[in-house]
Amino acid sequence: STGAVKMQPKAEELKFVTKNDGYVHIHPSSVNYQTRHFESPYLVYHEKIKTSRVFIRDCSMVSVYPLVLLGGGQVHMQLHKGEFVISLDDGWIRFVAASHQVAELVKELRCELDQLLQDKIKNPSMDLCMCPRGSRIIGMIVKLVTTQ
């Protein structure tokens, strides 16, 4: 038959964008350097260095829900062109929610998690798995992340 098969990019061609540095590349010494496809377009990294260009090392792919629930900054929701958009980091990272209800639930879960972590900081001896509120929040997050 005729047609073309889409080729995965070469390792040196794969690049990501950061808010402050623009395009970055995975360092050749990184375990993920030869990875040519990530299920999610988001990576977290430990180290960023600049040599011939900006590289990241010690990186891992992160999917949307862990990023929304555990990422820094406030979570915002807005209606944009008929779609409900969840945004992080002052709108630099944005996701389209399946519905208004999903967006509200994710935002509320993030608020509950933030409050739970604040309570844990105030009371370090608190066992999050034994307190009913903590175990429900943690259980919901585990279910959401593992079934996404």
pLDDT tens for each residue of 88-130:
888 888 889 888 898 899 999 999 999 999 999 999 999 998 9
Domains of the chain by residue range: 9-61, 63-144
The secondary structure of residue 114, as a DSSP letter, is: H
> Residue 20: which pLDDT band, with cuts at 50, 70 and 90?
confident
Q: Write down the pLDDT at residue 90.
A: 82
Mean residue pLDDT of the chain comes to 88
- Number of Cβ within a 10 Å radius of residue 141: 19
| The model's pTM | 0.76
Alpha-helical runs (H) found in the chain = 64-70, 100-122, 132-147
Angle of CA points 129, 69, 130, to nearest 5°: 5
> Residue 23: which pLDDT band, with cuts at 50, 70 and 90?
very high
Q: In the chain, what is the straight-line distance between the N-terminal and C-terminal CA atoms, in Å?
A: 36
